[in-house]
Structure 1
Amino acid sequence: MDNSTAWWLLAGVLVIAELLTGTFYLLMLALGAIVGALSAHLGQGTYAQILAAAILGAGAVLACYLVRKRSPRRQPASGNRDVNMDVGETVMVEQWNADGSAQVRYRGAAWTVMGRPGVLPQPGLHRVAEVIGNRLLVDKV
């Protein structure tokens, strides 16, 4: 078997493994295998092919790791406005219970409202910060 064929098969196996596992880093290693195949087509020796594949594959993995590390962390779904349409909406709290909870009418149903820890519960308008199960965690507006 020709070296370039082995590199192309390795690239294919890495792409299939990435599709099965969802690991983006395997795609970067597949790019390295593609560079190895291209260097084999150019007639370079086996060590040059391995070196080219290793340098590009490792460099791509490192670049991907650094980009992901620098990007901001995703918010949990319970507090993410893009996932939960209730986050950011306002509710009117008439009266707080002794345990720090309250009952409000919101979207045509009765909801249990809880204030954030450390915040004194006061009646008035509150903004939904997070939805935890069937409870709304709110901040005073």
Structure 2
Amino acid sequence: MAESTIWWLLAGVAIVVELTTGTFYLLMLAIGLAAAAVAAQLGASTITQLLVAAVVGGGAVVAWYFIRGRHPAAASASTNRDVNLDIGETVNVESWNPDGTATVKYRGANWTVVHRPGNPPSSGLHRVAEVIGSRLLVDKI
């Protein structure tokens, strides 16, 4: 079996494993394996093929790591307005219970409201900062 065939098979296996696990870095390593296959088809020595696989695959992993590091992490779904349209909406809290919760009518249903830690509970308009299960975490406006 030709060396290039072995490299292509290894690249294919890396892609299959990446598809089953969702590890994007394996796709970067598969690029390195494919580059080694091309080097083998061009007649490079085994050592050169290994170096090409290591440099291209490792370089792709490092490049992707730095590209991902520059972008800020996405907000969690419970605080992200793009995911949960309740974030930023206002509710009127008439009174607080002794346990620090309140019940408000919001979107046609009763919701349990909890004030953000560090803020004293007070009645009036509040803005929804986060949705935790069926509870609204609110800030005083």
Q: When the two structures are superposed, what TM-score results if normalisation uses the length of structure 1?
A: 0.94
1:37 corresponds to: 37
The whole-number CA distance in structure 1 between the counterparts of 2:100 and 2:20 is 47
| Overall identity of the aligned pairs, in % | 62
The whole-number CA distance in structure 2 between the counterparts of 1:133 and 1:48 is 56
Q: Deviations over 1:50-91 (max 9, x none)?
A: 101110101111111222233212222221222222111111
Q: Return the offset for 1:7.
A: 0.9
2:11 corresponds to: 11
RMSD: 1.2
Q: Return the offset for 1:98.
A: 2.4
SS of the equivalent of 1:119 reads coil
Letter in 2 for 1:90: T
Gaps of 5+ in 1: none
1:67 corresponds to: 67
The whole-number CA distance in structure 2 between the counterparts of 1:13 and 1:61 is 17
The count of residues paired between Structure 1 and Structure 2 equals 141
Letter in 1 for 2:8: W
The whole-number CA distance in structure 2 between the counterparts of 1:88 and 1:25 is 36
Q: Deviations over 1:69-128 (max 9, x none)?
A: 332122222212222221111111122222221111001011111110010112211111
Q: Return the offset for 1:17.
A: 0.5
Gaps of 5+ in 2: none
Letter in 2 for 1:105: K
116-125 or 28-37: which moved more?
116-125
The whole-number CA distance in structure 2 between the counterparts of 1:115 and 1:36 is 58
1:1-141 aligned at under 5 Å gives the runs: 1-141=1-141
